[in-house]
A and B are shown apart, each in its own frame.
Chain A
Amino acid sequence: MSISGFFGKANLSKLDLQIDFPQEVYAGSQVPVKITVENRRRHLPAFLIGLNADHISVLLPFTPAKSTSSVFTNITFRERGLHTIENPRVSSVFPFNFFTRFKTLHKTYTIIALPRLKACDLASLYRKERRSRGEKISDAIGYDADVISIREYVRGDPIKYIHWKATAKTGKLKTKELSSLSYQPVVIEFENVMIRDVEERISSVAYTIVQLHKNNVPVGLKINGRLFPPDTTGVHKLNMLKELAMFEKVDVRVSVMTA
């Protein structure tokens, strides 16, 4: 009995747990989560490590000594906002299934669940506006608008972009560099969106941001007196979505649903 107790205790010692979430976690949709157990012991493998953190429950049957093993599980966050998994408990019935031994790992894992996306028509407003304002030429190199510069020909450049005049002058093949066309930037003023229910408004705005970003439209957000100037990068999108996720939220204890 004492030997099995000893082994049970040793089996849970020197373990480390890592929970990897995908970059974009939207409330209400299922996301895959990677759970990795690291066994830092020198000899004893980790047997049958179970993780029970709120609604996550996974089993890692075998982790060799000085090694890691991972398992994927799907979880769903019901609400937007900051979710914290605090001091998860690992457990194991090793060696004899008579007792379950628990150990609390003093670690905290946080994840911001982005707002649920709700299809809406805000984007169509923008499209209408764009038609009236026309397109905008950006500084980025593309294949749409005016010539910005001329450079040496690089094999593979399409023939139609060869700058024949410059080629003739210099005797070397030259290629035109054109600017790209971009869309008119748009800034969504959160407070002015005409949807009464806050949650619905957040969901709709988030959907719009995602849609516009998908179409490469520079989009900005004005919320809580803070302005996110229009941009098309992924980080920018995430920042806005996070801001939306945290809108009027302090901290939500993790409330997840496994699927």
Chain B
Amino acid sequence: MISLNFTQLKVGTVVNIFTYLTGILCAAALSGHIPFVYPLLLLAAMGLSVYLDLKKICIPRWLLVILSVVALLYFFVRFDMQDLIGHIMEILFVLMGIKFLEHKEFRDYMQIYALALFVLAGLGLMTPGMAFVAYLLLFFILLCLSLIFLTFYSQDPELELTNQTIRTVITKSLWIPVLAIPLSGLMFIILPRTSYPILTFLNRPDKARSGFTDNVRLGNVSDIQEDERVIFRVTMEKIDESLLYWRGITLDHFDGSSWMRTKKHFHSAAKGISPVGKSINQTIYLEPYDNSSLFALDKPVHVDLKAVRKYNDLTFTMPSYIEKRVRYTVFSAVSDIIPEENIDRAKHLQLPRNLSPRIVSLAKSLAMTSGTEATIKRIVDHLNSDRYRYTLKGLPLSKNPLESFFFDSPSGNCEYFASAMAVLLRVNNIPSRIVGGYRGGYYNEMGNYYLIPQKNAHVWVEAYADGKGWVRFDPTPASLDAFSPAYKQGVFRKLQLFFDTINYYWYGIVLTYNLERQLSISRSIISELKRPSFSFSYLRSGIVRYTGIALIIIVLIIATVILARSAKPREITVLNDFLRKLGALGYPKREFEGLEEFAARIPDKNIRRISLEFVRNFENIYYTDRPFMTEDLRRLENIMEKIDDAK
């Protein structure tokens, strides 16, 4: 602990300390979100400012104004719609640094706080997670304290405060944020909210997240970075890990190096038969990312979300890119098969024109006469043989990536395995397509949800078997551990999971809280109140339970008050009642006034007589050290009642 050994501090110094803390908070909050040079710049400016203050050097204002204008111009030149928020944050940091260098007066401090507020608002747009909330709360507390000291400063800049005074001011002022924060929480619940965020346009998904894409390209990346960021969370019960395929998109057109999606058809109820399997409901919280596909446990049947589009390959998309966190519920039938008849065979047998003859001959060599399913099995076995190796590093870089994969360097990631299988199937006249999505996930026992990170992006194959439909095959030999490694190792991981749980609830409760939910909550309250008949089962309903709890609390409070009252001697209670009665009649007893003295100066003759009688009776017992008996008290109360008659 640093012990503060000062007796008096100028109030300006105190304001400065809090203002510097605010600056440090901003630098800490944004470091990692913007190039590190900007927080460093701010800290350097603050250091310089301390030096200037100590040396009592003033940089002329006009110089700093010119500096600000130059900085602004520089940023306008570099202006880039892609990373609007980032750029705004950078300029805010520069401006704040310049502001710190100025000789600070009241308005300068206010400007610094305003800039800090904007910086934190920007942080909120960048990461609306719990970290942001923590920074915001800290900032709020700092802001309250610095504003209070700034108020002192504005009244008298030369004011000196003692150590003790500063401590008292801080401890008492802390009540303001302590009370204001829960109140703001209440406001959050009550105030009407728009369903459409206004500011998200600022935060276009500028940094494409690696992982899921709507096409699969082979041969142009050699190393894949593993991305630990979470793409979505799914509330559901834990199921067998081998069933965890999160369907996103299907790709049916291969041009030799990449897979794409041809024209999509909306789902028509008449055409497809729904898959049959164990039904599982999920609630999914999808992070914003650079596409419009929605993910769901394979095979999703229904997605509950406004404006969602369902296609006949059982994929779902939104009309536009997912720019804010969305929450939707899915009904899935867990099954390997999508029953479908009369598929577009030509589309799913398409092959690139210049397909290498070596691949064709390899494919033909794997054909089985005993039927489609035997061929499929042989192809899967071939890809799972020791010849092929799963890797994320040193992927074949080539114009004909598949040929390299088959014959030169037989190692690759899921994209290679899935492409290889789909092509081998198509050569053998078996319709096939590639499905993109995610595989596996970590189950968070604390929050009962699956956590799926970006690095779990995966592609697999669906092959069409006559009479059955689309059957899922995953030719990638990577073990399940690659997708669901033991998350339990290490305290750090556990801590990470713990924080993710908090974030999850934060997203689930706070961020998806909007006008619709407000309306539905108020509707349900109103309908509960309006319900005309009182049924017995009603007793068990929430409202009654909470009313009960509230009643118990009220009773407890009353009981405490009564107990506290009875803790006083009974005669004092009677005396207080007597004095209160006279007070109500317009004869308040003055402090330090004797009882008899008080009674004697009552102008009304009758009341004076009764009061004196009461007082003497009271004093006779009180000053003789005799305990008050019940009959004494009753007598006193009887005398007291005469006052009512007298008036």
Interchain CB contact under 8 A, B168 and A7: no
A19 proximal to B (CB < 8 A): no
Which one, A43, A62, A93, A95, contacts B165 given CB within 8 A? Answer: A62
Interchain CB contact under 8 A, B179 and A93: no
Taking CB atoms and an 8 Å cut-off, the chain A residues in 36-69 that contact chain B are: 43-45, 47-48, 50, 59, 61-62, 64
What's the least CB distance linking A96 to chain B, in Å? 5
Interchain CB contact under 8 A, B183 and A3: yes
Q: Which B residues lie within 8 Å of A3 (CB)?
A: 176, 179-180, 183
User: Count of A-B contacts with CB under 8 A?
Assistant: 52
B45 proximal to A (CB < 8 A): no
What's the least CB distance linking A99 to chain B, in Å? 11
A132 proximal to B (CB < 8 A): no
Taking CB atoms and an 8 Å cut-off, the chain A residues in 13-49 that contact chain B are: 43-45, 47-48
Q: Which A residues lie within 8 Å of B179 (CB)?
A: 3, 6
Contacts A3-B183, A4-B176 given: A93-B156 contact, CB under 8 Å?
no
A77 proximal to B (CB < 8 A): no
Chain A's interface size range is 20 to 34
What's the least CB distance linking A207 to chain B, in Å? 40
What's the least CB distance linking A51 to chain B, in Å? 13
Q: Which B residues lie within 8 Å of A45 (CB)?
A: 168-169, 172
Q: Mark B144-168, 1 if CB is under 8 A from A, else 0.
A: 1001101110111001010001001
Q: Which B residues lie within 8 Å of A61 (CB)?
A: 152, 155-156, 159, 161
Interchain CB contact under 8 A, A97 and B147: yes
Interchain CB contact under 8 A, A96 and B147: yes
Which one, B106, B156, B159, B168, contacts A64 given CB within 8 A? Answer: B168
Q: Which B residues lie within 8 Å of A93 (CB)?
A: 151, 154-155
Interchain CB contact under 8 A, B176 and A95: yes
Taking CB atoms and an 8 Å cut-off, the chain A residues in 77-112 that contact chain B are: 93-97
Q: Summarize B's interface: helix, strand, loop or mixed.
A: helix
Q: Which A residues lie within 8 Å of B148 (CB)?
A: 47, 94-96
Query: How distant is the Cα of A93 from the Cα of B78 in the complex, in angstroms?
Result: 44
Q: Which A residues lie within 8 Å of B175 (CB)?
A: 7
B173 proximal to A (CB < 8 A): yes
Query: How distant is the Cα of A48 from the Cα of B168 in the complex, in angstroms?
Result: 14
A2 proximal to B (CB < 8 A): yes
Find the A residue at minimum CB distance from B159: A61
What's the least CB distance linking B586 to chain A, in Å? 18
Q: Which A residues lie within 8 Å of B169 (CB)?
A: 45, 47, 62
Taking CB atoms and an 8 Å cut-off, the chain A residues in 202-233 that contact chain B are: none
What's the least CB distance linking B183 to chain A, in Å? 6
What's the least CB distance linking A48 to chain B, in Å? 5
Query: How distant is the Cα of A2 from the Cα of B169 in the complex, in angstroms?
Result: 20
Query: How distant is the Cα of A94 from the Cα of B150 in the complex, in angstroms?
Result: 10
Contacts A59-B156, A64-B168 given: A95-B151 contact, CB under 8 Å?
yes
Interchain CB contact under 8 A, A96 and B151: yes
Which one, A6, A44, A48, contacts B155 given CB within 8 A? Answer: A48
Interchain CB contact under 8 A, B172 and A44: yes
What's the least CB distance linking A13 to chain B, in Å? 14
Query: How distant is the Cα of A48 from the Cα of B154 in the complex, in angstroms?
Result: 11
Q: Mark B398-410, 1 if CB is under 8 A from A, else 0.
A: 0000000000000
What's the least CB distance linking B110 to chain A, in Å? 9
Q: Which A residues lie within 8 Å of B180 (CB)?
A: 3
Taking CB atoms and an 8 Å cut-off, the chain A residues in 154-185 that contact chain B are: none
A-B contact pairs, 12 of them (CB 8 A): A44-B172, A45-B169, A48-B152, A59-B155, A61-B159, A61-B161, A64-B168, A93-B154, A95-B147, A95-B173, A96-B147, A96-B148
The 9 closest A-B pairs by CB, nearest first: A97-B151, A3-B180, A96-B147, A3-B179, A62-B165, A95-B148, A97-B154, A48-B155, A61-B159
Known: A64-B168, A94-B148, A94-B151. 12 other contacts (CB 8 A): A2-B183, A3-B176, A7-B175, A7-B176, A62-B169, A93-B154, A95-B144, A95-B147, A95-B173, A96-B147, A97-B106, A97-B151
B residues bordering A, Cβ < 8 Å? 106, 144, 147-148, 150-152, 154-156, 159, 161, 165, 168-169, 172-173, 175-176, 179-180, 183
A residues bordering B, Cβ < 8 Å? 2-4, 6-7, 43-45, 47-48, 50, 59, 61-62, 64, 93-97
